[in-house]
Chain A
């Protein structure tokens, strides 16, 4: 796992012939895709929870969304750095993806507020699951909204000329995407294991009392 990450980081600069600022592409885009993936996974587990009623899915959904939010925050940070490097500003409302991530970030922060304010139990699990499902519906709807909003907020749109990816660049991209996904998966397993241990410990302690 560590090897894959190091490999991606070392391989990536070799292909970066678009200037140094373009290198962050190999980190930024995989992180963003991974964040989407985590949100999707969280919603899938949420759906399974509502469908099957197995409480195990609650923790899995929560951990997936937690990872998604962390990766979402990283996307915002790397996006801001990229924006500063290529457009000269830290934040631009004309980058649809960044605005979408800001909306999603706020949404999923509210998810944690909801979780922490409800009493532990099946009702909390189901409420969180419903909210997580709203999240995946919000992603395309917000994206459309942000696209539409450009009409009256920004008459002129930045055209980000997509650099045609050469074979080796694409390979690097795929490697770093794989590495980030693997990292996310590892973090997911670690956090899930930790949370499960925590829950087991609490049960044991209650049983002892």
Chain B
């Protein structure tokens, strides 16, 4: 119970910082909308309907990257991370709190992006939306850890996409498959597997990344 309370407190802290500062979410919203508009001009007329789904996924991944790159900036700037690491709570709770907060941001961006996608391009069915949600879990789990890793480096904005994109390839396969394939259920299962494997890995290894 203590663990859950810690996680909730950390998530609320992140959401409150965002509500007061409005640093990340407006940027993510604007970015995903502009990307969709750019894509309209980037796809030739005869490219086929499925191409749009692929581009939706490119937009989702890069929007998530934008949010993740900012994820640990408040902690870094004010030395909060050192305080959190010293605090008497399990370190993985810090990761879970951050992952949940990022998940909320990503959901908020998608509440705008998905209807815009339907309006501009193609319809989305329930499987496709389930694919987006499942992939979000994976993105936030892996992304929060990698982002903490990259934040310690010299070129953190540069490093995060390099670390993240190879790991995101299976998520994109799952997400696009869920939207395009007739047997979307298999892809949802695959996304679930990915989420389970990498969430456990990130949860278990976060402690090693942040301690000095």
Contacts and interface: CB of A to CB of B under 8 A. Distances in A.
Contacts, number: 94
Contacts of B209: 123, 126-127, 130
Contact of A114 (B163, B167, B201): B163
Interface stretch (B23-31, B41-49, B107-115, B189-197): B189-197
B159 A134 contact: no
B145 to A, nearest CB: 8
A123 B151 CA distance: 12
Given A107-B167, A130-B149, A149 B208 contact: no
B83 interface: no
Interface stretch (B6-14, B61-69, B118-126, B169-177): B169-177
Interface of B: 50, 142, 145, 149-150, 152-155, 159, 162-163, 165-167, 169-170, 173-174, 176-177, 180-181, 183, 186-187, 190, 193-194, 197-198, 201, 205, 208-209, 211-212
Given A107-B166, A113-B159, A152-B177, 19 more contacts: A114-B153, A114-B163, A117-B150, A117-B153, A117-B154, A118-B152, A119-B152, A126-B209, A127-B208, A127-B209, A130-B205, A133-B201, A134-B198, A134-B201, A144-B193, A145-B174, A148-B174, A148-B190, A152-B50
Smallest CB-CB A-B distances: 10 pairs: A117-B153, A145-B170, A107-B166, A126-B208, A145-B173, A130-B205, A110-B162, A149-B173, A106-B166, A117-B154
